[in-house]
A and B are shown apart, each in its own frame.
Chain A
């Protein structure tokens, strides 16, 4: 993506305006990804800010002429994984008390009442979000990147720091699990997450 590349180069040259343009281009997509992973608007916003702070601190690691988007997505991926691990550790500590709260929570600890459903059919979106939330982190990310964010398997593998083969397996298993839960007919083979989208 030439635009993001040019903006990143100008940003590295000390142009704060270029950063704002880059933010305007990249942040909405990144927030969409983080929202589907974290499922809580406040958490996704926080992860987005953390991601951009990391980008800012690590901008010297950028290679001129390179597309910054896969790198930026990888940083967002890393930020989400670190946060999810923190929250899992926190859940273990909560488990030591006698009574646990009855509020259903996803992997990242959000409550069912705090979902960001958007403006689509709320029932379908909620069902899909519930099914997504039930997936393991890796499968959820594979489905989000390849099916919802339109990344190719190779791009998704690079972002998640895994092999193309492993990403195909994760996406396939995640997609199959969703198909069982959502109970709708499977899509034609050409739309399977195994190929570039």
Chain B
């Protein structure tokens, strides 16, 4: 298409000089501390774990913990840990040589976490015949839900502080990943604290924390993390 070829061969335009407002800013230019993604991830993870641990100390371990099979329990715990770390990593650490985090993969990770933990909870936890009546087990689960969301709060808030005004694109997916990561930490704490093993409760309440915190973060955080 010669029209487009003509356009592509247009001479590079001469830009105007920087605006007066920008010149005024440059006149008092000071060094800034640039973002260090790996350090941020370490701080984010460490503070979140300390906070979750503090909440956990205030509560208690589930009474039947010693009766649980070790290998499956460890596998479930590791799955929750991966659900915590992986979205946070993708939401904060960009590819080598890039500035913007891997928001697409972060979005995929948040979707997998949000859906996966609900499905896993429903599928792998034995449910008695009574679990058919969901309201009997979902309604008392609000305490778990609030506890899980409270645990998710700190990773989300710290992540938002680290990425404040830093994301020109993909901020909603990054926010969802922060929420999913925080929600997974909440889910892990719930699995260590709550002894209810009913599939509906574990799936919808413990797993649901991941989905709801991801949705809430995606709705609210871009106001903070968007580059305006």
Interface residues in A, total, Cβ within 8 A: 69
Neighbouring A residues of B99 by C-beta, 8 Å: 61-63, 66-68, 70-71
Nearest-Cβ distance from residue A160 to partner chain B, whole angstroms: 7
Contact between A54 and B228 (Cβ–Cβ < 8 Å)? yes
Across the interface, name the chain A residue whose C-beta is closest to B103: A161
Measured CB to CB, the closest approach of chain B to A143, in angstroms, equals: 8
Q: Answer whether A60 and B169 are a contact pair too, CB < 8 Å, given A184-B2, A184-B3.
A: no
CA distance A163 to B173 in the complex (A): 12
B35 neighbours in A (Cβ, 8 Å): 60-63
Q: Which residue of A lies closest to B26 (CB)?
A: A16
Which residues of chain B have C-beta atoms less than 8 A from A54's C-beta? 168, 227-228
Q: Which residues of B contact A64 (CB under 8 A)?
A: 34, 36
Residue among B2, B94, B168 facing the most chain A CB atoms (10 A cut-off): B168
- Sorting the interface of chain B by its residue count into under 10, 10 to 19, 20 to 34 or 35 or more gives 35 or more
Q: A49 — which chain B residues lie within 8 A by C-beta?
A: 16, 18-19, 21-22
Determine if A48 and B15 form an interchain contact, defined as CB atoms under 8 angstroms apart. yes
**Majority SS at the chain A contact face:** helix
The stretch that binds B, out of A85-93, A94-102, A103-111, A125-133, is A125-133
A residues less than 8 Å from B168 (CB atoms): 54, 71, 74-75, 77-78, 161
Q: Give the A-B contact count at a CB cut-off of 8 A.
A: 168
Q: Check B169 against A178 for contact (C-beta < 8 Å).
A: no
Residues in A with CB closer than 8 Å to B18 are 20, 23, 49, 52
* Chain A contacts for B13, CB-based, 8 A: 28, 31-32, 35, 41, 44, 116, 118
Q: Are B14 and A28 in contact (CB under 8 A)?
A: yes
Interface 9-residue window, one of B4-12, B72-80, B128-136: B4-12
Pairs across A and B, CB under 8 Å, 21 listed: A14-B30, A20-B18, A23-B15, A23-B18, A29-B12, A56-B26, A60-B33, A61-B163, A62-B35, A63-B94, A63-B98, A74-B100, A74-B168, A77-B169, A118-B11, A125-B6, A147-B4, A148-B7, A148-B8, A161-B169, A182-B3
